A and B are shown apart, each in its own frame.
Chain A
Amino acid sequence: MKQIKFIFTGPPGAGKTTAIATISEFPPVSTDVFSTDGLSKLKDTTTVAMDFGQITLENGQKIGLYGTPGQRRFKFMWDILIQGGLGLIVLIDNRRPEPLKDLSMYLDNFAEFIEQTDAVIGVTCMDIKDTPTLDDYQEFLKERGQIYPAFAVDARSKDDVLFLLNTLLTCLETS
């Protein structure tokens, strides 16, 4: 039986591991290694296989919280992790050079999964770099003919992560 799960994706450093940690009932099991490329300026470690967290419902059912590795070169892991996924949470780091291009890459690579489920977008670090704005993100999505919820979030904030999850659930309910 496939486990029911939510998938967190996005570029390295966007806050996937942190977001999972804020709502998981145990500290996420991570497969991090020390960063050796340009990423090491931003963070000490990066996820190479996955992050795993969990919540247990009142009836004992387990809901998995899976974080994908950020880098495109681990795409084979993305395809494995999305099996049984309820929906996708895309976290985008606004400090990166081309956040809209990042978003485009994740939406394209998860297109089939999103088509079958749904997606929400959380933009992190907007307090550090405020462009592109959320309007720019929405305009970008509009040009792609897509409408997805996009919000400024702090991955460390439980309220923010729950807001994303609640929005995703609402979208799934009405699809």
Chain B
Amino acid sequence: MPQTLQLFSSQLSVSNLLTLKIFLGLTKTDRIAVWEYTDSAEAAAAVLIDTDTSEGNLQIKEWVNRKKPQVVIAFGNNNLGLPSDVLSLSRPLRSAELLAVLQQAASRFTGGSADKGRGHVPVSTQVGALAKEADTSASFVQTNRVLTVLYKDNDKVLKVIDRMGRSVIFDVGRRRYYATNLVRTEVEDLLASPLRSVQIQEMGSSELAKEIQNIKAQDSDPLLWTAALAISNGQLLPGLAPQGFYRLNRWPDLKKLGADPLHMKLAALLRSGGSIDHFSHFTKAPVESIIDFINACQVLHYLEYQQKSTPAAAPVEQKKSGDEKRGLFARIRSRLGI
């Protein structure tokens, strides 16, 4: 019987946290240690901290000094100089690397018994075995997933059934879904599942009417948006290219989908369009975050895309007046607490 271990995280962005939770689901098939997410640091076997934030940097030092039983995992681009007992996981969050680190964490937490259970299988083979149900990071988003089918078949009613026989009905055209025995996070997991692990049936309108009696319709936009952000992992959805020209055809309802300041800024920039590099340069945000947003917009059909990038319009403002405006806006935000 595999042991169930819990992981707590700190300072992770919303999209990385969602990705992490989905990746933890990949350990369900592991014969030694199954990982679950917990909101309690004390209950956790391991603590994952984003060290690319100043707060995260401080926290990791505190955790090491506390000498608690939890295994500490540093997640970030610059993990050099960390104490030897801290495990390191580099950005972006990739399933294969995470699974390998979790195996090491399980081994440390259990005092090596997890390794004994695994025998002398090299880590790379263990990762392969763990990840065989899904895909490794390089092709994670490129693989056909339930989400990909939903946004491509945008006028159909599809019933998705998982291996345990639980089902969700997506009325894609009406942007609704119907779930009876799955909570929202489970439906998100289902959307991130590879196609081969589910059954998808197309439904007619009479069949739909019969099946959804007494089931409340739910808005599928926030669900698809969150799932797209979570599975992006810094890679564009199939059919989109890094050098492409991207423009919004409508403003996403960020009040409903989540008011991330970066997303708001990207939506404003994407009104006039541009390339991923242009958006990254303007917002000073990592390319992977831009890609996450573009994928989410694509899934909800908010995006117009041309394969070849055209130069974005140059800012017309003088630098001085631009700086003055930014200063004024910052003061207004500060005054209003936004």
- The yes or no answer to B285 lying at the interface (CB within 8 A) is no
The one of A150, A151, A162 in contact with B336, judged by C-beta atoms closer than 8 angstroms, is A162
The one of A150, A160, A162, A173 in contact with B251, judged by C-beta atoms closer than 8 angstroms, is A150
The one of A56, A135, A148, A169 in contact with B333, judged by C-beta atoms closer than 8 angstroms, is A169
Let me know if A147 and B336 touch, CB within 8 A.
no
Let me know if B265 and A173 touch, CB within 8 A.
yes
Q: Considering the chains assembled together, what is the distance between the CA atoms of A150 and B271 in angstroms? A: 14
Q: How large is the interface on A (under 10, 10 to 19, 20 to 34, 35 or more residues)?
A: 35 or more
Contact partners of B326 in chain A: CB under 8 A: 173
- The yes or no answer to A171 lying at the interface (CB within 8 A) is yes
Let me know if B338 and A147 touch, CB within 8 A.
no
Let me know if B331 and A152 touch, CB within 8 A.
no
Q: Please, what's the 1-or-0 string for A144-175, where 1 marks a CB less than 8 Å from any CB in chain B?
A: 00011111110000001011011101111111
Contact partners of A153 in chain B: CB under 8 A: 255
Let me know if A166 and B267 touch, CB within 8 A.
no
Contact partners of B328 in chain A: CB under 8 A: 4, 61
- The yes or no answer to B325 lying at the interface (CB within 8 A) is yes
Q: Enumerate B315-333 residues with CB–CB distance to A below 8 Å.
A: 325-326, 328-329, 331-333
Let me know if A166 and B255 touch, CB within 8 A.
no
B252 to chain A, nearest CB (A): 9
The one of B175, B249, B268, B338 in contact with A173, judged by C-beta atoms closer than 8 angstroms, is B268
Q: Considering the chains assembled together, what is the distance between the CA atoms of A135 and B267 in angstroms? A: 16
Let me know if B336 and A23 touch, CB within 8 A.
yes
Q: Please, what's the 1-or-0 string for A28-47, where 1 marks a CB less than 8 Å from any CB in chain B?
A: 00000000000000000000
Contact partners of B335 in chain A: CB under 8 A: 55-58
Let me know if B268 and A61 touch, CB within 8 A.
no
- The yes or no answer to A100 lying at the interface (CB within 8 A) is no
- The yes or no answer to A125 lying at the interface (CB within 8 A) is no
Q: Number of A-B pairs whose CB atoms are under 8 Å? A: 79
Q: Considering the chains assembled together, what is the distance between the CA atoms of A63 and B261 in angstroms? A: 23
The one of A4, A150, A165 in contact with B338, judged by C-beta atoms closer than 8 angstroms, is A165
B74 to chain A, nearest CB (A): 33
Let me know if B331 and A174 touch, CB within 8 A.
no
CB-CB nearest in chain A for B248: A147
Contact partners of B251 in chain A: CB under 8 A: 138, 147-150
Q: How large is the interface on B (under 10, 10 to 19, 20 to 34, 35 or more residues)?
A: 20 to 34
- The yes or no answer to B183 lying at the interface (CB within 8 A) is no
Contact partners of A4 in chain B: CB under 8 A: 328
Q: Enumerate B244-273 residues with CB–CB distance to A below 8 Å.
A: 248-251, 253-255, 259, 261, 264-265, 267-269, 271
Contact partners of B338 in chain A: CB under 8 A: 162-163, 165-166, 169
Q: Considering the chains assembled together, what is the distance between the CA atoms of A135 and B269 in angstroms? A: 21
Q: Considering the chains assembled together, what is the distance between the CA atoms of A142 and B264 in angstroms? A: 19
CB-CB nearest in chain B for A163: B255
Let me know if A172 and B250 touch, CB within 8 A.
no
Q: Enumerate A105-160 residues with CB–CB distance to B below 8 Å.
A: 134-135, 138-139, 141-142, 147-153, 160
B269 to chain A, nearest CB (A): 5
Let me know if A57 and B259 touch, CB within 8 A.
no
Indicate whether A59 sits within 8 Å of B331 (C-beta atoms), given known contacts A147-B250, A162-B336, A172-B325.
yes
Contact partners of A175 in chain B: CB under 8 A: 268
B218 to chain A, nearest CB (A): 15
B273 to chain A, nearest CB (A): 10
Let me know if B265 and A170 touch, CB within 8 A.
yes
Q: Considering the chains assembled together, what is the distance between the CA atoms of A56 and B116 in angstroms? A: 67
Let me know if A147 and B259 touch, CB within 8 A.
no
5 pairs of A and B residues whose beta carbons are closest in the complex: A174-B268, A138-B250, A151-B255, A166-B338, A57-B331
Which residues on B are within 8 Å of A, measured CB to CB? 175, 248-251, 253-255, 259, 261, 264-265, 267-269, 271, 282, 325-326, 328-329, 331-338
Which residues on A are within 8 Å of B, measured CB to CB? 4, 23, 55-59, 61, 63, 134-135, 138-139, 141-142, 147-153, 160, 162-163, 165-167, 169-175
- Can you list 23 contacts pairing A with B, beta carbon distance less than 8 Å? A23-B336, A55-B336, A56-B335, A57-B334, A58-B334, A61-B328, A138-B251, A139-B250, A142-B249, A142-B250, A147-B249, A147-B271, A150-B253, A152-B255, A162-B337, A163-B255, A169-B333, A171-B268, A172-B325, A173-B268, A173-B325, A173-B329, A174-B265
What 17 additional pairs, Cβ within 8 angstroms, besides A58-B331, A163-B259, A166-B336?
A23-B336, A55-B335, A57-B331, A58-B334, A61-B328, A139-B250, A150-B253, A151-B254, A151-B255, A152-B255, A160-B255, A162-B336, A169-B332, A170-B261, A170-B264, A170-B268, A173-B329
